[in-house]
Structure 1
Amino acid sequence: MMNARMTRRRMIGISAAAAGMVLLPPRGGAAAEAVTWQGEAMGAQASLIIHHPDRDKAERLVEATVAEVRRLERIFSLYREDSDLTLLNGQGFLVMPSPEMVDILRQSRAAWELTGGAFDPTVQPLWDLYRRHFSTPGASEAGPPSEAVAERVTRVGLDRIACSPDRIDLSVPGSALTLNGIAQGYVTDRVVDLLKAGGIERSMVDMGESRAIGSAPGNRPWRIGISDPLDKASILTVLDVEDRAVATSSPFGFCFDREGNFSHIIDPRSGATPQRHASVTVVAGQAALADALSTAFNLMDADAIAASVRMQAGVEAHVLSLRGEWTKFTAWDGRRL
């Protein structure tokens, strides 16, 4: 039985994550001394490891990173009453939106097109429906009525949002956005840009999703362990990454119901919560893209995942089946066991 209180998001850091990844010491020994930070970003556990010969400069970069994360939270957070996203959802429009809001919606649209609509941040009305249903005492274990689900689906569709540097409009009454499937990756990418501008050539950044800058100490790859979604203490496979982002999503990360039949990964096209795969890990150049695709691929079959991966150079997907079998998809051959 799944724990409905298990965290929805995941972290890479010194300790294991609920859904899926662990930063391991590089091969050949422990990492060199570094400036590290652990905290919270966008509602997720976050960590930062900076290798720099000037410790004072490294600490100043950590302070700048935390300030940037807090600034972006005031734009993207679904739970802050003063965020731009909360204002947009509440009034249905946003005048003179921040450049970051316009940019994240542009990247969301690209992921929406790449996945045939499987990634869609306008899924929030369906999330609210499931949350309210299962938080009601005596709620049916069969889930919300099919008619209610169908009605909420009519509010979903990223193609019906008007977005420009001057204004964003949610044209469908009752529609709303959640950026939880991409914002952590987006924030991670912004932090990477900040650190690179500060001269950092070697770092592991995790602001809810992770991205490596350069190689680990000793010119070795950073090693990321992918955990069993049902047993976070068990590492199923290890990925070596350099200058790449990694994101993992699993339907077992959070479920609305105690029996685990209704996952947080909701198909925006049907309103259903299918469990096609045990987990999906995506490696990409950008954390925002890896974040969005790891969610969407959980809703797609093998052929659809292969087709999407072939359309995006530098992307690979590691899919764990419900039977415990791994399949790797790459942009070069589409599918490789």
Structure 2
Amino acid sequence: MLYTLLLFLGYSLFSPKQAVKQVYHLDGYAQGTTYSITYYATDSTITRQRISQKLAEIDASLSLYVPQSLINQFNHATRGVVADQHLRLVVHKALQVYRDTDGHFDATVEPLVRAWGFGAQHVEAPPAPATIQALLLQVGSDKIHLRGDSLVKDQPGVHLDLNGIAQGYTVDVLAELLEQQHIHDYLVELGGEIRVRGRKWPSGEPMRIGIERPDTTDLPGAGMRQIIRLPAGGVTTSGNYRKFKQWGSVKSAHLINPKTGYAFQNEMVSVTVIARDAMTADAYDNALMGMGLTKALTFLKRHRDLQAYLIYQRPDGAMADTSTLGFQKLIVQQ
């Protein structure tokens, strides 16, 4: 017993102290927006160079603004391309959400998005009705298929635009980069899309996320926000109040209805979704925006794995909000 006690005391006296977690910040510019990473670890194992390399790898696969990216190769191809892991994973999720939302989320809407001036090229005028009808024949995720390591299409004019899901996916990839280094306390944000896990150190305080209401002067109540405390998961927001095009009296928001070829017309102003990961949240926030309030709330009742905060306009023009019960439980009382 004495020998065991002395051995224990010796180990306690001479073993190194447990390393203390410190806070590290990384930020930069990517995918046409900014990113910010905060993580708590014993050393700075994740560097800006490593983040930049991973972002470049994703852009080479999914970006419409990189001429030789895989997605652009697919769009220009007659039949399809051999897909890398990034393209396969994102398209798989896009097809899943397309089926789950009855086509309210559709990654093949690219020809319409481009025609309305929200693509990589500038347009001088809105598309004519005949043009829209012709483009609709090329739209529909039932026209694309993952077969083994290939992504194929049924007709040459089918194009992909994964911008409605790619930023959420990118956030997940960066979070996984942290997880691989055994970092479990972090907040990753890119273009407003967020993945979070763990706590702040040394305080041990849970992570908090602020959700802004639309920053516009023509909507009552602008600037108010909710604060939520989320142990882990993805948080993304889709809104129809910032990105739009206008030609004289013709105005179009950037969320295009793949079934009509025109911008969604409903009372939705913005939707914030919480899901297990940011890619899932990112895909469903767009779909819920397109559904309108009543259908969106019905959909959320059937999908308990999604929590959401919805802002909408009443018939009198006043802004109102509502949320799922699960979202309400995350709100920090101010």
Q: Same fold (TM over 0.5)?
A: yes
1:228 aligns with 2:217: no
- The answer for the alignment partner of 2:295 in structure 1 is 304
1:266 aligns with 2:261: no
- The answer for the alignment partner of 1:215 in structure 2 is 199
Question: Shift of the alpha carbon at 1:77?
Answer: 0.5
1:155-304 to structure 2, matched below 5 A, reads 155-208=138-191, 209-217=193-201, 218-231=203-216, 234-257=223-246, 261-276=251-266, 277-304=268-295
Partner Cα distance (1:92, 1:42) in 2? 27
- The answer for the alignment partner of 1:51 in structure 2 is 40
Higher-Rg member (1/2): 2
Question: Shift of the alpha carbon at 1:135?
Answer: 5.1
Contact between 2:189 and 2:195, CA under 8 Å: does it hold in 1?
Answer: yes
Question: Shift of the alpha carbon at 1:273?
Answer: 0.7
Pick closer, same or farther for the CA change 1:332–1:257 going to 2, 3 Å.
Answer: closer
**What's the secondary structure of 1:95's corresponding residue?**
strand
For 1:186, the aligned partner's letter is Y
Question: Shift of the alpha carbon at 1:260?
Answer: 8.1
Name the TM-score, length of structure 2 as normaliser.
0.81
Pick closer, same or farther for the CA change 1:163–1:279 going to 2, 3 Å.
Answer: same
**What's the secondary structure of 2:127's corresponding residue?**
coil
Question: Shift of the alpha carbon at 1:331?
Answer: 7.2
- The answer for the alignment partner of 2:6 in structure 1 is none
1:27-106 to structure 2, matched below 5 A, reads 34-55=23-44, 57-59=45-47, 62-106=48-92
Pick closer, same or farther for the CA change 1:172–1:230 going to 2, 3 Å.
Answer: farther
**What's the secondary structure of 2:184's corresponding residue?**
coil
1:316 aligns with 2:307: yes
- The answer for the alignment partner of 1:326 in structure 2 is 321
- The answer for the alignment partner of 2:113 in structure 1 is 127
**What's the secondary structure of 1:219's corresponding residue?**
coil
Percent identity reads: 25
- The answer for the alignment partner of 1:21 in structure 2 is none
- Structure 2: 5+ residue runs without aligned partners? 1-20, 329-334
Question: Shift of the alpha carbon at 1:41?
Answer: 2.6
CA RMSD of aligned residues (A): 2.6
For 2:169, the aligned partner's letter is Y
Partner Cα distance (1:332, 1:74) in 2? 36
Contact between 1:309 and 1:331, CA under 8 Å: does it hold in 2?
Answer: no
Contact between 1:93 and 1:167, CA under 8 Å: does it hold in 2?
Answer: no
For 1:326, the aligned partner's letter is D
Contact between 2:110 and 2:160, CA under 8 Å: does it hold in 1?
Answer: yes
Contact between 2:273 and 2:285, CA under 8 Å: does it hold in 1?
Answer: yes
- Structure 1: 5+ residue runs without aligned partners? 1-31
